């Protein structure tokens, strides 16, 4: 069904171009800023923040799990997955008196040699407004699922999905996903209320 829909809607999913990663991450930033601008608490990526993110995830980045979805040849969505390094870090946890180089070797062993990682985490995902109801999300997730399966990953973590994001939550449920942790964020004004608002006394 998704394949037929993609053909009809001219949706094409591709992986990141490793020869032009700087441009690919810049494209990711542009799509992210457009896709998330109406979400609660959104702050757009600044160029320096993007550079910092690329630096931090660079050593864990796998271009096979970085996807762009194009509609009629124009990128409109992306999905960035990273290996869940916590699975390897559990076997390389630093302790008092334990040299750092031993922890580093243990991490590399359980990550690269005898990998304990079988879970991928969706770090970032975004779909531009106007393209969220044409099946582009399903096309991205199916491509990520198929690729992750080939890489030997058995589990996926959707990361932080807003409770108000109905389409994404429904898609996760359709893919047999389940909510395993819920975060609540509360807001309270600290500044005095402007004149005329409720609670003001004459």
Taking only the tens of pLDDT, the chain with its 202 residues reads: 778 888 888 999 999 998 998 899 889 999 999 998 888 778 888 878 878 877 777 777 888 899 999 999 999 999 999 888 777 778 787 788 888 888 888 877 777 777 777 888 888 899 999 998 899 998 998 999 899 888 888 888 887 888 888 888 888 888 788 888 888 888 888 877 676 665 544 4
pLDDT for the residue numbered 200: 47
CATH class of 2-82+119-174: alpha beta
For residue 176, what are its two tokens? Answer: 């047999």
- The rounded Cα 15 to chain-centroid distance in angstroms is 14
Alpha helices in the chain (DSSP H): 2-9, 21-36, 47-57, 86-89, 100-108, 136-150, 166-174
The Cα 148–Cα 101 span in angstroms is 31
The Cα 11–Cα 70 span in angstroms is 6
Question: pTM for this one?
Answer: 0.77
How many C-beta atoms lie closer than 10 Å to residue 116's C-beta? 16
**Residues near 27 by beta carbon (within 8 Å), at least 6 away in sequence:** 68, 75, 78
pLDDT for the residue numbered 196: 64
pLDDT for the residue numbered 201: 45
The Cα 82–Cα 63 span in angstroms is 9
pLDDT for the residue numbered 198: 56
Domain ranges of the chain: 2-82+119-174
């Amino acid at each position: 069904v998704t394949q037929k829909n993609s053909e009809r809607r001219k949706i094409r999913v591709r992986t990141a171009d490793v020869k032009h990663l700087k441009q690919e991450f810049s494209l990711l930033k542009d799509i992210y800023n457009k896709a998330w601008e109406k979400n609660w608490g959104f702050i757009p990526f600044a160029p320096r923040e993007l550079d910092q993110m690329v630096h931090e995830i660079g050593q864990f980045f796998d271009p096979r799990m970085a996807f762009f979805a194009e509609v009629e040849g124009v990128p409109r969505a992306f999905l960035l997955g990273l290996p869940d390094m916590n699975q390897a870090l559990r076997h390389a946890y630093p302790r008092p008196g334990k040299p750092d180089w031993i922890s580093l070797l243990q991490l590399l062993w359980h990550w690269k040699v005898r990998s304990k990682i079988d879970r991928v985490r969706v770090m970032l995902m975004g779909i531009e407004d106007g393209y969220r109801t044409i099946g582009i999300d399903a096309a991205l997730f199916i491509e990520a699922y198929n690729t992750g399966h080939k890489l030997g990953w058995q589990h996926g973590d959707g990361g932080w999905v807003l409770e108000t994001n109905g389409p994404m939550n429904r898609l996760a449920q359709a893919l047999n996903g389940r909510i395993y942790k819920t975060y609540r964020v509360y807001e309270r004004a600290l500044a005095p209320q402007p004149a005329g608002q409720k609670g003001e006394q004459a």
